[in-house]
Structure 1
Amino acid sequence: MPLDAKRIAKILRHGRALAHRYRLQLILALRVALGALVAFALAQALHLRLPLWAVLTSLIVTQMSLGRSLKAATDYLLGTFIGVAWGGALAILIPHENEWALLGVLALAVAPLALIASFRANFNVLPVTAVIVLLVPTMQHVSPEVSALDRVLEVVVGGAVGFLVSVLVWPSRGHQLTTDAAATMLRLIADALAELLKGMERLPDDRRLRRIQDGIGAALTRLNAIGAEAEHERMARLTSAPDTGPLLRTLLRLRHDVVMLGRAVGCELPAEVVQRLTPSMHAIALAATNFLRSSGTALRELEPPPPIDAVDTAFKAYADAFGAVRREGLTRNMASDTVERFFALGFALDQLREHLSDLHRVVDEWSHAYSGAATARRLVN
């Protein structure tokens, strides 16, 4: 094969890999562009006075997931109706023929709605809508009633187009994004455990651990936001997916386990205690990290959870060794703070074992709920 052909083939492979990696972002860009064009064409066909607002509403409503689009459409339409009602009522009931009167009405229109928006960020559109309804009649020489009706029609057209495009053009379901975000968080938790459980006395790399912990916190924040979007879809009966609550709570508990382990490891223990417990600690690290990563893959692919037998065996071995250390009195000569951290480590590992079992159950529930969808998703990919 000529060199140029090889280079072209390499570029194409790289392009396909990038397209697959950022497919959700590319699909969103396509939906946004298509929604803007359709909203503008429909606004023109309906002879709306300000097609700009139909296009802007379409841009606001077209979001990454269907649940986020639904929430954006609901908030924007409700905010528009309230703003139109308030601004239209002031424009009709209070005369404002001169500039001073107009300034007074404008203040009455903006101040109360801005106060409401300060408490409810999703209602930021309230003062904007009231201002448009109030000022457009003075610029276009139309009545306040016509201005209010035009504003409602423009937003309804833009919102309807944005939502329909989100539903019909390669829709991204909130639950699919939830499983992807959960898989990412499980991988980060596995990395943290691998760093923490390398040794009983060895302090973990503080800089690396802090970086991982920050990544877990950011992943949890993103997961909570996506989970809320998924719940909007479920409550609107746009999906039959399971409740995201158990999954989110389990991942939050696993994050707390990582924090507890970070505070417990690295204490100075007698050499005999370290020798007795280190092999089972290494076994826990290997079994738990493999289970977490495999569980993330299972969630992303909507498949049954990995076996948990190796996790059970590793934790049982540690519990037996831990019990033997206590029975033989090897903790009697430890300093008080060392004893506290030693038993805190045992408690943290008990909690980790329980929460890994919860994860196994949750992944199993998701795989059963999506047993048919998993087959279709693998065929598409």
Structure 2
Amino acid sequence: MSSGATELRSLRSQFPEHRAQLGLSLRVTIAALSGFAFSHLLKVPLPLWTVLTAVVLTQATFGRSMKATVDYLVGTLGGAVYAGVVAVLVPHSNDVSLAGVLALAVAPLAFLGAVYPSFSVAPLTGVLVLLVPRFVHVGPIESAVDRVLEVSVGAIIALAVSLLVLPARAHSFVIEGAARTLDLMAGSLPELFEGFIRPRDAAAIARIQDSIGEAVARTQASAAEAKHERIVFLAAEPDHGPLLSTLTRLRHDLVMIGLAAAEPLPESLQARLGPLLARVAQTSADQLRGRGEALAGRRDPASLEGVEAAFDHYAEAIASVGSEGLTQGLPVDALERIFTLGFALDQMRQDLRDLDRCASEIAGRRSTPARMHAGAVKAN
């Protein structure tokens, strides 16, 4: 009994972690059942295609469902029209001639789908338009119209379910993805900076850089989906462009820092610059993590005072090193790495300021309705 209760508690504890997956599972199930019900209610010729369309187009977010639906409808309409015209104009009374018509219809549609992803479903639609009449005894034009009708019903169901049943917004995915990316960057900074003091494993650094690049790419993909939501909802949400640009630049900053830290600093500079670089790494990591938390909570970020001071101290130290002639006689590659590091730190400093503005803008947009409501109550 105790073991069963423990397993039940463990299962419940996993629900919050898989809430998005459970929500998608529920939406897909409802979409499938709704497609089945409406296909019979509307007497759709091929209910299977309506149900499949509803399932395929019910995605993790409404924005993704919207994009998938537009692409699917475009591909279906193009494939149905072209295959229907080919079927009408080219006789195919036997299997041999039908095979020729099938090739004539599918080949251009497959090429079109390869060039334009929006038409990827067109070849499949063409096949259905040509072959279904052999089994249900309808004309090619009627078959084409039926395919468009079946897909349209499934698409409408998918959009309705995505919008009404536990809706997930791509805009939220963008903010959450940005927060996770910043947290990943924050965790990577100390390890990257450690390369200025001691040799680091190049393969491990490459894995860090790749994981950050993948996180930025996922956030950019969510932002592309969010554009479709803004059209539908006419939402006054902030443009994700500045945030995405800042994330991309920060990712480039870390790449440059990784290149500069490919080898440790010359021993003559480590004692002087090592602690200051460690301070820059720690304060920058704190700021990145804090900005991620501010984005996720839609609240104003904390002050940049600590990290600004760390950058200033390093800049003063590197200027003193130069004025004291400590860089004279260093190998060219060491000088290049020191220059690259200085440039990367200047860029990262500016990018942290830009990130600060992005977080403040998102927090401001979030709080605007509440402020307006409070002002109206006060006025009344």
1:159 aligns with: 155
Aligned with 1:242: secondary structure? coil
Paired residues of 2:321 and 2:327 also in contact (CA < 8 A): yes
2:51 paired residue among 55, 58, 64 = 55
| Contact 1:181 1:222 (C-alpha < 8 Å) held by counterparts | yes
8 Å contact from structure 1 (residues 88, 134) kept in 2: yes
Letter in 1 for 2:133: P
Q: Percent identity?
A: 46
Quote how far apart the aligned CAs of 1:210 are: 2.5
Segment drifting more, 96-105 vs 360-369 = 96-105
Partner of 1:303, secondary structure, is coil
Shift of 1:163: 0.6
> Which residue is 1:253 aligned to?
249
Alignment of 1:86-105 (within 5 A): 86-105=82-101
Which of 137, 146, 150 is the equivalent residue of 1:141?
137
State the 1:213 CA deviation: 1.7
Amino acid at match of 2:348: L
**Offset at 1:201?**
2.9
Which has the higher mean CA deviation after the structures are superposed, 200-209 or 98-107?
200-209
Deviation (angstroms), 1:122:
2.8
1:266: Cα distance to partner? Answer: 5.3
CA distance in 2, matches of 1:153, 1:269: 68
Q: Counterpart of 1:135 in structure 2: which amino acid?
A: L
1:179 aligned residue: 175
CA–CA distance in 2 between the matches of 1:245 and 1:235? 16
**Equivalent residues of 1:199, 1:278 under 8 A apart:** no
TM-score by length of 2: 0.92
Provide the rounded CA distance (Å) in 1 between the counterparts of 2:29 and 2:60: 13
Does the Cα contact within 8 Å between 1:202 and 1:266 map onto a contact in 2? no
Distance 1:328 1:266 in 2: 25
Task: Identify the residue that residue 184 of structure 2 maps to in structure 1.
Answer: 188
Cα pair distance change 1:50/1:281, threshold 3 Å: same
Deviations 1:153-190 (A, max 9, x none): 11111000001000001111111011111111111111
1:274 and 2:267 aligned: no
- Cα separation, partners in 2 of 1:146 and 1:327, compared to 1, 3 Å: same
Are the aligned partners of 1:269 and 1:334 in contact in 2 as well (CA < 8 Å)? no
Partner AA of 1:323 in structure 2: A
Which of the numbers 195, 198, 208 marks the counterpart of 2:194?
Answer: 198
Q: Superposed, which structure 2 residues align to 1:281-320 within 5 Å?
A: 281-320=277-316
1:211 aligns with 2:207: yes
Q: What is the CA-CA distance between 1:347 and the residue it aligns to?
A: 1.3
Per the TM alignment, residue 10 of structure 1 is displaced from its structure 2 partner at its CA by 4.5
Q: Is the 8 A contact 1:199 1:282 kept in 2?
A: no
Give, in angstroms, the shift of residue 372 of structure 1. Answer: 6.1
Partner Cα separation in structure 2 for residue 266 and residue 128 of structure 1: 51
State the distance in 2 between where 1:52 and 1:372 align. 47
Picking from 20, 26, 33, the partner of 1:24 is 20
Q: Do structure 1's residue 227 and structure 2's residue 223 form an aligned pair?
A: yes
CA deviation map 1:104-163 (0-9, x unaligned): 221211111111011012311111111111111121111223212211111111000001
Matched, 1:359 2:355: yes
Offset at residue 316 of structure 1 (A): 0.9
Q: Aligned with 1:198: secondary structure?
A: helix
Partner of 1:118: 114
Contact residue 91 and residue 105 of structure 1 kept, 8 A: yes
Instruction: Give the superposition deviation at 1:274.
Output: 2.1
Secondary structure of the residue that 1:147 maps to in structure 2? helix
Q: Distance in 2 between matches of 1:52 and 1:312?
A: 62
Task: Give 1:56 deviation, angstroms.
Answer: 0.8
Aligned residue type for 2:367: S
Which residue in 2 is equivalent to 1:243? 239
Q: Which SS does the other structure have where 1:307 is aligned?
A: coil
Q: Structure 2: which 5+ runs fail to align?
A: 372-380
Distance 1:152 1:271 in 2: 72
In 2 relative to 1, CA 284–143 (structure 1 residues): closer, same or farther, beyond 3 Å?
A: same
